[in-house]
Amino acid sequence: MVNWNAKFAARTGRMRRSSIREILKLTQRPDVISFAGGLPAPELFPIEQIRAAADRVLTERGAGALQYSTSEGIPELRSYLAARMSRPGLTVSPDNILIVQGGQQAIDLVGRILFDEGDRAIVESPTYLGMLVAWRAYNLNYLVVPTDQHGLITELLPPALRQNPKLMYLVPNFQNPQGVTLSGARRAHLAQLAAEHGSVILEDNPYGDLRYSGEDLPSLYAVDAQVRGLSELNGGVIYTSSFSKILAPGLRMAWIAAPVPVIDKLVQAKQGADLQCNTFSQYIAYEVCKDGFIDAHILRLRDAYRQRRDVMLAALEREFPEEARWSKPDGGLFLMVHVPQHINATELLKEAIERKVAYVPGDDFHVEGGQNTFRLNYSNASPEMIEEGIRRLGALLKEVIVRQPA
């Protein structure tokens, strides 16, 4: 027998399987109501439009749709996204855009080009689990900044900024896991502080189009350009967004928008990773975008997910014990529940699954702590299933609070 463990690189010792994926395996049984994954509603995937787009792509482009294409991405999609991201007074050029294989690849590639082992990075607490997984190999020193209902508390940033971090990573809209949104005032403060300290930001925005209440807020790349007085995208923000939540995650289509020198370096990293994105998927994404279908589809998704969010919030109010509290998102797919400090959400999950309901324990979203938190997804289950699942979870929590007094 070959001892493969003796062959693996030392840095792989820090790698672990994503617990979300492990949990998802347990919850794939049809009788489990799962609030665990971040899955969009499959019944809302626009199968017919994607079928028609695939047909058009093959008819009109033929072999070209199946051939290798450039590492940066197909020019049509880059131009479309550049125009979509441009704002009055701020031009985003196709040269600022790199098409990537999901927002997860964006995070991975940014890590590859920026981090040396042991670098510092500022993150929100809690933060996106997939980022922690992607960057584990670099043994980063995280400077963790707390959040409240208005997102990262920017007043607490200066001490962390003075430690010369390589990067700040933020999900400003409907953050995963909490669903909270960075307020307009804090966006301005953050951009100001970043410019003063020479710091750069990775703005991860897969949920920004999925707003169900409140007003749209400007993206950090736009606020940053304003603070720096720029009319082109050459400031201090690397932006990424994805088609996963607004079209279909299985297409694995996302993009990065960044200053040209950053794109150049990212392209080099992408060439090493996978040469390019799937040509066919890129043309399909472009087809559903170019005639405006995607915008109409986003409106349909907002209506459906708004209803599910409201059903979940009402059910939580009705079914959960008064000792629990939870975030109230204006959009996205998630909210986060806090239970009393002494209740361990990972341990409780076993009992929840026995009662055929599942969530993701919150500690994986924290650099430290979070054992008494869990994330609930409301996009994937029907409103009826949401009500039933929250009822089961509420009954379990009430029992546990009686069984394990503080």
Ligand X SMILES: Cc1ncc(COP(=O)(O)O)c(C=O)c1O
Select the span of 160-168, 178-186, 209-217, 242-250 touching ligand X (CB under 6 A). Answer: 242-250
Nearer to ligand X, 80 or 128 (CB): 128
Nearer to ligand X, 140 or 401 (CB): 140
Nearer to ligand X, 225 or 247 (CB): 247
Cβ contact 205:85 at 8 Å = no
CB of 206 vs ligand X, minimal distance in Å: 5
Compose the 96-115 pattern: x for residues touching ligand X by CB under 6 A, - for all others: ------xxx-----------
Cα dihedral 348, 351, 355, 358 in deg (nearest 10): 40
Of 34, 49, 178, 242, the residue at the interface with ligand X (CB under 6 A) is 242
Nearer to ligand X, 128 or 221 (CB): 128
CB of 198 vs ligand X, minimal distance in Å: 25
Of 40, 208, 249, 362, the residue at the interface with ligand X (CB under 6 A) is 249
Whole-angstrom distance, CA of residue 63 vs CA of residue 159: 55
Whole-angstrom distance, CA of residue 24 vs CA of residue 36: 7
Buried b (16+ CB within 10 A) or exposed e, 217-253: bbbbbbbbbbbeebeebebbbbbbbbbbbbbbbebbb
254 binds ligand X (CB under 6 A): yes
Tokens encoding 41: 């509603």
CB of 294 vs ligand X, minimal distance in Å: 15
CB of 386 vs ligand X, minimal distance in Å: 19
- Report strand pairing: 334-338 vs 373-377: antiparallel
Of 46, 73, 111, 130, the residue at the interface with ligand X (CB under 6 A) is 130
Near ligand X in 144-183, by CB under 6 A: 171, 176
The helix (run of H) or strand (run of E) holding residue 352 is helix 345-354
Full DSSP string of 289-318: HHTSHHHHHHHHHHHHHHHHHHHHHHHHHH
Whole-angstrom distance, CA of residue 220 vs CA of residue 175: 14
Which residue minimizes CB distance to ligand X?
102
H-helix segments, 62-134:
75-85, 102-114, 129-134
Whole-angstrom distance, CA of residue 182 vs CA of residue 157: 14
282 binds ligand X (CB under 6 A): no
206 binds ligand X (CB under 6 A): yes
Of 244, 282, 371, 379, the residue at the interface with ligand X (CB under 6 A) is 244
- Report strand pairing: 373-377 vs 151-152: unpaired
Of 33, 38, 258, 400, the residue at the interface with ligand X (CB under 6 A) is 38
Is the omega angle on the peptide bond into residue 383 within 30 degrees of 0, that is, cis? no
Nearer to ligand X, 320 or 334 (CB): 334
Query: Which SS3 state, helix, strand or coil, does residue 336 take?
Result: strand
281 binds ligand X (CB under 6 A): no
Nearer to ligand X, 96 or 244 (CB): 244
Of 204, 209, 363, 387, the residue at the interface with ligand X (CB under 6 A) is 204
287 binds ligand X (CB under 6 A): no
Select the span of 86-94, 241-249, 372-380, 382-390 touching ligand X (CB under 6 A). Answer: 241-249
Chain centroid to CA 221: 17
List residues binding ligand X (CB under 6 A): 38, 102-104, 128, 130, 171, 176, 204, 206, 242, 244, 249, 254
